[in-house]
Amino acid sequence: MNFSKMHGLGNDFMVIESITQDFVISSLKIKELSNRNTGIGFDQLLLIEKSYSSKFDFHYRIFNSNGNEVEQCGNGARCVGLFLILKGLTTKKRINLSTNQKNIIINFISKDIIEVNMNEPIFKLHSIINSEKLKNYNFSVKIINNNLLCSLVSIGNPHCVIQVESIKYAPVQTISKIIKEKSIFPKGINIGFMQILKKNHIKLRVYERNEGETQACGSGACAAVAVGIVKNLLSNNVKVELLGGTLFIKWKGFNNPLYMIGPAKYIYEGYIYI
């Protein structure tokens, strides 16, 4: 099986296409391959398949390092776009991908700077939180002894955004582990810690479900900016500093798609016997 190793701001991936090669792999094997000591090592495995509809160019699937399939990965989408170009699978500069949740449109701004249409953020909470007490318009909940305000949004996958004074001193691991154990999130939750520097500039750390803290989370950056805009804390164009680098997020508000702009990097390619 041929594969490529890629990353978006340090969020690293094993990328495989099942268009020119047969590919069947188990969750257990994905978990083995993701091990950084005995395998290839990655945050997510990205699988590119033939499109199931003439409306799309390709189908895109995401698996976390524990083998579980998930709905969305913004950094991964940029890497998939670059992979398709580098491997000669398309010559398009605008690529329409279907996923298990929704379609994603990729546009190349330059050779390795890519804009992704992440669609409109979803603030209806029925798919994120397990509670009949919340109304659809109420997207913030208090957790951890009712002292911590957590704003919820879906970018195709569920996110909890917490505003902090400083990401450097925020107890990311402690708070994330407590939230992770809460039964109110039936599908788990990605947790973002947002420090607002200016209306157009934030810093962000993200603790991803099943992964722990990562160098960068594209959908997490989208989630944080969307929450900030809805709360009138941020402007419509925001620079997001993550541990691994910088993304730019653009959103005009409700009834409009949200755009993420950032790099994708190719590391190496190889093959492995499964």
pLDDT at 120 over 50: yes
Task: State mean pLDDT over 9-35.
Answer: 93
Residue 236 · residue 31 · CB < 8 Å: no
pLDDT band at 141 (very low <50, low <70, confident <90, very high): confident
Among 73, 79, 150, 222, the one annotated catalytic: 73
Burial 20-38 (b: 16+ CB within 10 A, else e): eeebebeeeebbebbeeee
pLDDT band at 136 (very low <50, low <70, confident <90, very high): very low
In angstroms, the CA 45 to CA 77 distance is 12
Please state, in angstroms and as integers, the Cα–Cα distance from residue 11 to each residue in 35, 56, 174, 211, following that order. Answer: 15, 26, 22, 11
pLDDT at 166 over 90: yes
pLDDT at 79 over 80: yes
Task: State mean pLDDT over 109-119.
Answer: 94
pLDDT at 186 over 80: no
List, in order of start, the domains of the chain with CATH numbers.
2-119+263-271 (3.10.310.10), 140-256 (3.10.310.10)
222 is a catalytic site residue: no
SS3 percent helix, strand, coil of the chain, rounded to 5, is 15, 40, 45
pLDDT in tens, 27-58: 999 999 999 999 999 999 999 999 989 999 99
CA 62 distance to own-chain centroid? 10
Among 150, 160, 217, 222, the one annotated catalytic: 217
79 is a catalytic site residue: no
Contacts of 207 (CB under 8 A, 6+ apart): 172, 173, 176, 180, 190, 191, 192, 193, 213
Coil, strand or helix at 219 = helix
Q: What share of the chain has pLDDT > 70, as a percent? A: 94
Which tokens hold the place of 249?
């997020």
Span of 135-149, 171-185, 203-217, 251-265 with lowest mean pLDDT: 135-149
Which tokens hold the place of 107?
């546009």
Residue 46 · residue 73 · CB < 8 Å: yes
pLDDT in tens, 208-230: 988 899 999 999 999 999 999 99
